[in-house]
Amino acid sequence: MGINRVNITGNLTRDPELRSTSSGMNVLKLGVAVNDRRKNPTSGEWEDVPNFVDVTVFGARAEALSRFLSKGSKVAIEGKLRWSQWENPQGEKRSKLEVVADEIEFLSSREGGSGGGSYQPPSAPSDSSDIDGEEIPF
């Protein structure tokens, strides 16, 4: 038995594409860019090199996600790899490896911010003259 689990974090390269199978199951197709760091052999400098990953989501979750995701959205995806093979109209055999997503976490807000679950601490009072030292519990 083998383990087939994938975790990636990246940005959507295009708007998600929602379709339905003939049986009525929703299928959402995503493209995700995941950066890799490599040392340039010519310059010796480290560079970000993108890897482009196809991701598929099935079922009711596909329709819900299609309403919230768009090109540029930052996401974390957990799923499994699936290899498929087909023949194109010219008779050439083609294949691809894609991620079938089990979980997708939004890492950017709908407004395009930098963190969907970011925490902002409360601001300190600007005028501390009205705080009585005996009311502080420590």
138 within a domain of the structure (yes/no): no
The two tokens of residue 111 are 């407004």
pTM confidence score? 0.73
Q: Can you name the residues that pair with 11 across neighbouring β-strands?
A: 33, 74
pLDDT of residue 40: 92
Cα(110)–Cα(103) distance, integer angstroms: 18
Q: Which domain holds residue 55?
A: 6-37+45-115
14 within a domain of the structure (yes/no): yes
Between the ranges 20-24, 77-81, 118-122, 134-138, where is the mean pLDDT highest? 77-81
Here the CATH number for the domain that contains residue 91 is: 2.40.50.140
124 within a domain of the structure (yes/no): no
Strands 74-87 and 6-12: antiparallel
pLDDT digits (tens, 9 = 90+) for 72-92: 999 999 999 999 999 999 999
125 within a domain of the structure (yes/no): no
Total domains, the chain: 1
82 within a domain of the structure (yes/no): yes
For the chain, give the mean pLDDT.
83
Which H or E run contains 63? Answer: helix 60-68
Residues in the chain: 138
135 within a domain of the structure (yes/no): no
Half-sphere CA count of 36, side-chain side, radius 13 A: 9
